[in-house]
Amino acid sequence: MDEEPERAKRWEGGYERTWEVLKEDESGSLKATVEEILYQSKRKRVIESHGQVRLGMMRHLFVVIDCSRSMEDQDLKPNRLTSTLKLMEAFIDGYFDQNPISQVGIITTKNKRAEKLTDLAGNPKKHIAMLKKAVDTVCVGEPSLYNSLKLAIQTLKHMPGHTSREILIILSSLTTCDPANIYEMTKTLKSLNVRVSIIGLSAEVRVCTVLTRETGGSYHVILDESHFKELLMLHVKPPPTSSSSECSLIRMGFPQHTIGSLADQDAKPAFSMSHLDSSSGPSLGGYFCPQCHSNYTELPVECKVCGLTLVSAPHLARSFHHLFPLDAFIESPVEEHQRNGFCQACQGELKDKSIFTCPSCRSVFCVECDLFIHDSLHCCPSCIHSQTAS
């Protein structure tokens, strides 16, 4: 029976009774099993890739954060709210890293109301700043799913049809206080092609199950903090689009970065359009919109003047890899591999139990490099190498 009362003590959360998994080997050492556990935790996040599926590359995502009374619960450290906001920061970073041409907005709900923390925007810094500020929010009352969804829809329904509309709800409370029938709202969401996903912080709630099932989203409940992070990171990858969404061509601008120097006579100081409200002064250099020559300090951004989407080529390329995911490397025990004991990437010795072989170039990698390649690089270094060499 795996239901021991000791297991759920809060100070033990996340450890998962590791001592029961530990077994001494012949020499009485625990080293082998400890390594095994570490290894397993590394492998956990191996992502199954979709292959040839249409993905919603331009995402419009509203994150709804529950700020109700239950967020003060201390089963996540130091409490649910702080922990959530912390993870959200990492999520926002990861999100823009993987989906550079997408936008995100944050909504909080408490006291039966929903408020917009940030509007849909493509600038991670602003969101993160707001999240940092939100740590001090007082958590009161009950959340309202209906109101949050309504607020999100108001913006999302105006988004163009080729983009994916998503709502991600972090729900800590087990109740929702709705002014109207939530199942009507579900129908509206469905007709608007909005996908609602929910991460529950406490337990499975019926209405969430129905909501996510109807709108094609996913519903997960966290086990502990690391699981929470994992679940959150699942939403970083763009989801497959439904076949009903339309396709269209999008105009994009690729501005060049110019570095103005005071010595250059042509250089005119300009205010960055995206920071007009902030206190930063005019600068000489920056990205200039190819259409209207307004100045921006950073990309990607939608030009405030002419509405052109401004990106840089690497951004697009980064989004691109989702469409052609790198095949999973073949895992095999190290004994089968006799040639040489070195990883192709880091040139380190292959010490772990398993090695990973790229299916196309048959190069061998260690666990660490395999993870790095799949999580960050998205291409096999030795394949690239052989391409350029030939």
* Residues of this chain that bind other proteins (CB under 8 A): 1-10, 69-70, 75, 142, 145, 174-178, 181-183, 200, 202-209, 220-223
Please calculate the CA angle 335-338-344 and round it to the nearest 5 degrees.
Answer: 100
Q: How far is the CB of 327 from other proteins (least distance, A)?
A: 24
Nearer to other proteins by Cβ, of 178 and 352: the residue is: 178
Nearer to other proteins by Cβ, of 144 and 382: the residue is: 144
Q: How far is the CB of 237 from other proteins (least distance, A)?
A: 18
Nearer to other proteins by Cβ, of 6 and 26: the residue is: 6
Contact between residue 194 and residue 156 where contact means Cβ atoms under 8 Å apart: yes
Q: How far is the CB of 302 from other proteins (least distance, A)?
A: 36
The string of DSSP codes covering 216-227 is T--EEE-SSHHH
**Residues in Cβ contact with 42 at an 8 Å cutoff, skipping those fewer than 6 apart:** 367, 368, 371
Number of Cβ atoms within 10 Å of the Cβ of 70: 19
Nearer to other proteins by Cβ, of 13 and 290: the residue is: 13
Return d(Cα 248, Cα 183) in angstroms, integer: 32
Return d(Cα 198, Cα 209) in angstroms, integer: 9
Q: Is-cis flag, bond preceding 78, omega within 30?
A: yes
3 state DSSP class of 116: strand
Tokens of 168: 């991600």
Nearer to other proteins by Cβ, of 177 and 252: the residue is: 177
Nearer to other proteins by Cβ, of 140 and 384: the residue is: 140
Return d(Cα 363, Cα 386) in angstroms, integer: 11
Return d(Cα 154, Cα 178) in angstroms, integer: 17
Nearer to other proteins by Cβ, of 183 and 342: the residue is: 183
Sign of CA dihedral 133, 138, 146, 243: positive
Q: How far is the CB of 52 from other proteins (least distance, A)?
A: 25
Q: How far is the CB of 184 from other proteins (least distance, A)?
A: 11
Q: How far is the CB of 105 from other proteins (least distance, A)?
A: 23
Please calculate the CA angle 180-183-186 and round it to the nearest 5 degrees.
Answer: 110
The letter for the amino acid at 200 is G
Q: How far is the CB of 66 from other proteins (least distance, A)?
A: 13
